[in-house]
């Protein structure tokens, strides 16, 4: 499923935004979701300086030890503890105590996160850490067991239909239909999102052109390269112009050139439309290149968050994000040890499909 419309009607077009043409009207309107408590949704530029730095640790501190003797995790965890960001009005994503259990297994464990509007946020962690499960709760594909999450102030539990209009989703597994052409894939999606018929053709043409796929519009997707499929899925997920885009391993299996193309496209979307990007990746170079803030998830918990620079500086003067990842997660063996085998297998199959 690509950026799943989830059977919900599309949001009305966002006046003041024309993502695919890269234009903005001079005076963006207040979002219809604005309230007296939160008057700044989306359309007033809220790119905040706080997006660039760590905020002070949560006054309550972690609820349970994540490192040190008896916890099975390395002592140097204590060097980089989780520092949950304090939510602010206008944050694109706010997560508080979010938990998901599958039977007795706690896969996402009391996660706290706040992602400012227009930020590029990276969620990192070993296979099986719970990243995809967390995203699925944020886009309402999975119900939380406990806790709350809001997308632009809309609660995923109580206002799922509104949340689905506010998000785009590029899933970890390939989702475009290989038996259809690129254009047909987009038409299906435009219909599911109730994009007005009069706008569909132009919007689809613009979307294809924006990622260099105009010449491939009528080709079957099964004949596309992995990079072309991923680009198609990205424009598909944005066709209804969501303010928050979730990308689960957007460049998995791609060659360096295709990866850089996708990075450029994501930067463009973020810069021109102020779309909030919530990305998971195992590619630390990608996280460093794209993300203003990252969080590292391990065994269902967020164990560290901050800017890439902050996290690197805490591990060592010459550390890169690979070093941070290994230091914090002990080399990422969780997938094999704790039931992530299936997830690792899925990732490998995805990589093979992407060729
Ligand atoms: N529907 C499900 N039923 C039972 N267990 C599940 C289900 N979905 C995920 N899990 C388990 O939850 C854990 C977290 O999986 P998840 O896919 O969220 O990890 P991930 O961090 O995205 O991993 P990867 O990096 O490999 O994609 C894994 O142990 C997985 O087997
Ligand atoms: Mg995953």
Distance CA 166, CA 185 (A): 20
Pocket of ligand 1 contains residue 102 by CB under 6 Å = yes
Task: Give a yes or no: residue 316 inside a domain.
Answer: yes
Model confidence over 287-317: pLDDT tens digits? Answer: 999 999 999 999 999 999 999 999 999 899 9
Pocket of ligand 1 contains residue 129 by CB under 6 Å = yes
Task: Give a yes or no: residue 210 inside a domain.
Answer: no
Task: Give a yes or no: residue 23 inside a domain.
Answer: no
Residue among 102, 173, 346 to mutate when testing ligand 1 (max atoms within 8 A of CB): 102
Query: Is residue 137 left, alpha or beta, with left meaning phi > 0 and alpha meaning psi from -120 to 50?
Result: alpha
Q: Kindly calculate the radius of gyration of the chain based on its CA atoms and give it in whole angstroms.
A: 20
Kindly report the CATH number assigned to the domain that includes residue 248.
3.40.50.300
Distance CA 185, CA 192 (A): 11
Alpha carbon 150 to its chain centroid, in Å, reads: 14
Centre of ligand 1 from the C-alpha of residue 173, in Å: 13
- pLDDT class of 26 with cuts at 50, 70, 90: very low
Pocket of ligand 1 contains residue 16 by CB under 6 Å = no
Q: Counting ligands in written order, which one lies closest to the CA of residue 171?
A: 2
The dihedral of CA 47, 85, 340, 145: what is its sign?
negative
Give the pLDDT confidence score for residue 87 in this predicted structure.
64
Task: Give a yes or no: residue 83 inside a domain.
Answer: yes
Asked if pLDDT for residue 73 goes beyond 50, the answer is no
Distance CA 36, CA 259 (A): 42
Q: Which domain holds residue 274?
A: 79-168+242-354
Model confidence over 157-198: pLDDT tens digits? Answer: 999 999 999 999 999 888 899 999 999 999 999 998 889 999
Task: Give a yes or no: residue 37 inside a domain.
Answer: no
Pocket of ligand 1 contains residue 275 by CB under 6 Å = no
Task: Give a yes or no: residue 89 inside a domain.
Answer: yes
Report the chain's mean pLDDT, rounded to a whole number.
Answer: 76
Judge whether 320 and 100 are in contact, CB under 8 Å.
Answer: no
Q: Per the structure, how many domains does the chain have? A: 1
Task: Give a yes or no: residue 253 inside a domain.
Answer: yes
Task: Give a yes or no: residue 302 inside a domain.
Answer: yes
Range from 67-71, 116-120, 158-162, 191-195 carrying the lowest mean pLDDT: 67-71
Pocket of ligand 1 contains residue 343 by CB under 6 Å = yes
The dihedral of CA 249, 56, 146, 238: what is its sign?
negative
Distance CA 233, CA 244 (A): 15
């Amino acid at each position: 499923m690509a950026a799943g419309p989830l059977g919900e009607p599309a949001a009305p077009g966002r006046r003041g935004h024309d993502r695919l043409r890269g234009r903005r009207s001079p005076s963006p309107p207040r979002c219809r979701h604005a309230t007296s408590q939160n008057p700044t949704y989306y359309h007033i530029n809220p790119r905040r300086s706080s997006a660039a730095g760590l905020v002070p640790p949560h006054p309550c501190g972690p609820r349970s030890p994540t490192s040190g003797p008896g916890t099975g995790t390395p002592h140097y965890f204590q060097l980089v503890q989780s520092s949950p960001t304090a939510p602010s009005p206008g944050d694109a994503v706010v997560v508080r105590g979010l938990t998901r259990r599958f039977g007795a297994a706690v896969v996402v464990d009391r996660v706290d996160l706040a992602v400012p509007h227009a930020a590029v946020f990276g969620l990192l962690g070993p296979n099986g850490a719970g990243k995809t499960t967390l995203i699925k709760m944020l886009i309402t594909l999975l119900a939380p067991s406990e806790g709350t999450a809001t997308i632009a102030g809309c609660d995923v539990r109580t206002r799922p239909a509104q949340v689905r209009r506010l998000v785009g989703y590029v899933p970890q597994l390939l989702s475009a239909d290989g038996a259809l052409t690129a254009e047909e894939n987009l038409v299906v999606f435009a219909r599911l999102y109730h994009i007005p018929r009069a706008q569909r053709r132009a919007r689809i043409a613009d979307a294809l052109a924006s990622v260099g796929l105009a010449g491939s519009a009528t080709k079957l997707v099964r004949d596309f390269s992995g990079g072309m499929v991923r680009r198609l899925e990205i424009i598909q997920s944005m066709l209804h112009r969501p303010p928050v885009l979730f990308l689960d391993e957007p460049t998995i299996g791609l060659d360096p050139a295709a990866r850089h193309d996708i990075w450029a496209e994501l930067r463009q979307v973020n810069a021109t439309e102020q779309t909030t990007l919530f990305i998971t990746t195992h590619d630390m170079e990608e996280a460093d290149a794209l993300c203003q803030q990252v969080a590292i998830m391990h065994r269902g918990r967020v164990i560290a968050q901050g800017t890439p620079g902050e996290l690197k500086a805490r591990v060592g003067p010459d550390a890169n994000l690979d070093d941070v990842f290994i230091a914090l997660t002990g080399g990422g063996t969780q997938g094999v040890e704790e039931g992530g085998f299936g997830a690792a297998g899925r990732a490998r199959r995805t990589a093979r499909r992407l060729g």
